[in-house]
């Protein structure tokens, strides 16, 4: 059996994906997502007063706010004007953005949505198109308490960055699981964020440290090793499909 972490809003869909792939897996939600409406409104106000070159969307949970922001830009745009470049941190975020923004008026220049080669903050900063960030106005749509690496890195390159924290994660009192399970049945753990990994360790104790772990960045892997996990692997894509493919290619299930 596999044990994987997801925030509560994504738990059911991920469990369905693992089940459809023929993998015996139990999902664990250690946190929920709470949206911050005031920050979403603040984005539209900022865009009404400021010309923006790049919008960076760091999570699927930031997509709705990004959609509102882009729609407000489209409404005030003149024919043949250009829209900001949009960078999505990963495939799932990009796919949701494409779906949300597919109805773009023909008189507006096409919307460009790009993803980095490695789906992390480090991957975004490594994108060649951001090497010449000096003088660029960048809006970062993210979660409350998230990393400041993108803003700090782009500011160091001479960009002007404005971050909007449109959601926050709230730790659940007890994890919610998709089905009953026992630690002795688990043969591998998939952790898609450092916070959820640490919450899972806190709830389950040292019993799960000896199991093989799969995570989505070397940064999280380093953190897990420091906590005592001896066998950690990295898949640089956080989608259900990428994780399932990695497991089928590398673990015997």
pLDDT tens per residue, range 77-97:
666 667 889 999 988 899 988
- The span from the CA of 200 to the CA of 190, in Å, is 11
Structural domains for the chain: 2-32+182-250 (3.40.50.10090), 36-168 (3.40.50.10090)
Q: Quick one: 201 exposed, middle or buried, by C-beta within 10 A (0-12, 13-18, 19+)?
A: buried
Given a cut of 90, whether residue 7 has pLDDT beyond it is yes
Residue with tokens 């897996």: 25
Lowest mean pLDDT among 102-111, 170-179, 202-211: 102-111
Report the pLDDT value the prediction gives residue 253, as an integer from 0 to 100.
62
Q: Which two tokens stand for residue 25?
A: 């897996």
Q: Is the pTM of this model over 0.85?
A: no
Across the chain, mean pLDDT equals 90
| pLDDT, mean of residues 12-20 | 96
Report the pLDDT value the prediction gives residue 146, as an integer from 0 to 100.
79
Given a cut of 70, whether residue 106 has pLDDT beyond it is no
pLDDT tens per residue, range 36-62:
999 999 998 898 888 899 999 999 999
Q: Check residue 207 and report its DSSP letter.
A: G
Judge whether 62 and 167 are in contact, CB under 8 Å.
yes
pLDDT band at 206 (very low <50, low <70, confident <90, very high): confident
Q: Which two tokens stand for residue 3?
A: 């044990």
């Amino acid at each position: 059996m596999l044990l994987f972490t997801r925030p509560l809003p994504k738990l059911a869909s991920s469990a369905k994906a693992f089940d459809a792939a023929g993998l015996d897996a139990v999902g664990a939600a250690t946190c929920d997502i709470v949206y911050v409406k005031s920050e979403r409104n603040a984005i539209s106000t900022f865009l009404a007063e400021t010309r923006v070159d790049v919008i960076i969307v760091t999570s699927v949970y930031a997509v709705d706010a990004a959609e509102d922001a882009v729609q407000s830009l489209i409404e005030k745009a003149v024919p043949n004007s250009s829209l900001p470049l949009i960078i999505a941190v990963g495939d799932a975020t990009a796919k949701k953005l494409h779906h949300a923004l597919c109805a773009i008026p023909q008189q507006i220049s096409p919307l460009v949505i790009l993803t980095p080669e490695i789906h992390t903050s480090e991957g975004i900063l490594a994108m060649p198109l951001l090497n010449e960030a000096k003088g660029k106005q960048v809006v970062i749509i993210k979660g409350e308490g998230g990393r400041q690496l993108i803003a700090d890195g782009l500011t160091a390159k001479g960009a002007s960055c404005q971050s909007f924290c449109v959601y926050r994660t709230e730790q659940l009192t007890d994890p919610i699981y998709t089905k009953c399970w026992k630690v002795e049945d688990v043969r591998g753990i998939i952790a898609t964020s450092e916070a959820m990994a640490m919450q899972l360790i806190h709830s389950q104790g040292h019993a799960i440290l000896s199991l093989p772990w799969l995570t989505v960045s070397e940064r999280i892997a380093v953190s897990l090793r420091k906590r005592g996990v001896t066998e950690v692997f990295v898949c640089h894509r956080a989608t259900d499909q990428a994780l399932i493919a990695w497991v089928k290619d590398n673990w015997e299930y």
